Amino acid sequence: MQPLEDLKVLDFCWVAAGPMTTSYLAEYGATVVRVESRRRHDPLHTSPPLAPGKGLNRSGYYGNYSANKYALGLHLGSAKAIEIVKRLVAWADLVTENFTPGTMERLGLGYEALRSVKPDIVLFSTSMLGRGGPHSKLPGFGAVLSSLSGFTGITGWPDRDPTNPYGAYTDFIAPRFALASILSALDYRRRTGTGQHIDMSQLESALQFIAPMLLDCANNGREGSRTGNRHEAAAPHGAFACLGEDRWVTITCMTDAHWAGLRQVLGDPAWMQSERFSTLLGRKHDEDELEAMLAASTRIWNAEALVQALQGAGVPAGVVHPNKGMLADPQLQHRGHFVYYDKPRIGRHAVQRSEFRLSRAPAAHNWPTPFIGEHTRQVCRDILGMTDAEIEALIEAGVLEVPE
Amino acid sequence: MMLAPYRVLDLSDERGLLCGRILADLGADVIQVEPPAGNSARRLAPFLGDEPGCERSLYWWSYAANKRSITLDLACADGRTLFERLAATAHFVIESGRPGEMAAAGLSFERLSQINPALIVVSITPFGQTGPYATWVASDLVGMGLGGFMYVTGEPDRAPLRVGFPHFYLHGAAAAAAGAMLANAQRALTGEGQHVDVSCQEAVARSLANSLAANVMEGAVIVRQGSYRQTGADTFMRITWPCRDGFVNFQFSGGASSGQSVNNFVRWMADEGAPDDYLLSLDFRSMGYGMITNETLERVVPPVSRFLMARTKQQLFEAAIERRILLFPVATLGDILQNPQLQAHDFFRAIDCPQFDRPVTTLGPFARASATPLKGGGQPPSLGQHNGAIYEGELRLTHTDLIRLRSAGVI
Q: Using a CB-CB distance cutoff of 8 angstroms, which residues of chain B are in contact with residue A322?
A: 148, 151-152, 221-223
What was the pLDDT predicted at A141? 66
Helices (H) and strands (E) in chain B, counts: 17, 13
What was the pLDDT predicted at A212? 98
What was the pLDDT predicted at B297? 86
Mean pLDDT of the B248-264 span: 90
Mean pLDDT of the B11-40 span: 98
What was the pLDDT predicted at B181? 98
Secondary structure class of A86 (helix, strand, coil): helix
Higher pLDDT, A393 or B326: A393
Give the DSSP letter string of A245-310.
TT-EEEEE--SHHHHHHHHHHTT--HHHH-GGGSSHHHHHHTHHHHHHHHHHHHTTS-HHHHHHHH
Write the pLDDT tens digit of every residue in A212-221.
999 999 999 9
Confidence category of residue A308, pLDDT binned at 50, 70, 90: very high
Element (H, E) at A161: none
Fold of B7-206+349-407: Rossmann fold (3.40.50)
- Whole-angstrom distance, CA of residue A214 vs CA of residue A223: 9
The 10 Å CB-count burial string (b at 16+, else e) for A203-237 is: bbbbbbbbbbbbbbbbbeeeebebbbbbbeebbbb
Q: Would you call B127 and A331 a contact, using CB atoms and an 8 Å cutoff? A: yes
Q: Would you call A239 and B150 a contact, using CB atoms and an 8 Å cutoff? A: yes
- Class in CATH terms, A8-209+335-401: alpha beta
What was the pLDDT predicted at A144? 83
Mean pLDDT of the A8-24 span: 97
Mean pLDDT of the A317-325 span: 98
Q: Is the pLDDT of residue A239 over 80?
A: yes
Q: Is the pLDDT of residue A23 over 80?
A: yes
Confidence category of residue B215, pLDDT binned at 50, 70, 90: very high
Interface test with B, best of A131, A141, A186, A208 (most B CBs within 10 A): A208
| The model's pTM | 0.97
Fold of A237-328: formyl-coa transferase, domain 3 (3.30.1540)
Write the pLDDT tens digit of every residue in B65-75.
999 999 999 99
- Whole-angstrom distance, CA of residue A294 vs CA of residue A308: 17
Compare CB distances from A347 to B148, B217, B348 and report the shortest one's residue: B217
Domain boundaries, chain A: 8-209+335-401, 237-328
Angle at Cα B165 formed by Cα B159 and Cα B171, nearest 5°? 100
Q: Is the pLDDT of residue B291 over 90?
A: no
Higher pLDDT, B239 or B199: B199
Write the pLDDT tens digit of every residue in A81-118.
999 999 999 999 999 999 999 999 999 999 999 999 99
Q: Is the pLDDT of residue B199 over 70?
A: yes
Confidence category of residue A387, pLDDT binned at 50, 70, 90: very high
Poorest-confidence range of A32-36, B159-163, B278-282?
Answer: B278-282
Confidence category of residue A139, pLDDT binned at 50, 70, 90: confident
Write the pLDDT tens digit of every residue in A333-373.
999 999 999 999 999 999 999 999 999 999 999 999 999 99
Mean pLDDT of the B141-164 span: 97
Mean pLDDT of the B363-370 span: 98
Mean pLDDT of the B369-376 span: 97
The set of catalytic residues of A is: 171
Cβ–Cβ pairs < 8 A, chains A and B: 563
Same fold, A8-209+335-401 and A237-328: no
What was the pLDDT predicted at B268? 96
What was the pLDDT predicted at A142? 67
Mean pLDDT of the B92-118 span: 97
ipTM over cut 0.90: yes
Mean of the per-residue pLDDT values of chain B? 95
Write the pLDDT tens digit of every residue in A376-386.
999 999 999 99
Q: Using a CB-CB distance cutoff of 8 angstroms, which residues of chain B are in contact with residue A151?
A: 163-165
Interface test with B, best of A100, A192, A229, A346 (most B CBs within 10 A): A229
Domain boundaries, chain B: 7-206+349-407, 224-330
- Whole-angstrom distance, CA of residue A68 vs CA of residue A341: 12
- Class in CATH terms, B224-330: alpha beta
B-chain residue closest to A154, CA distance = B164
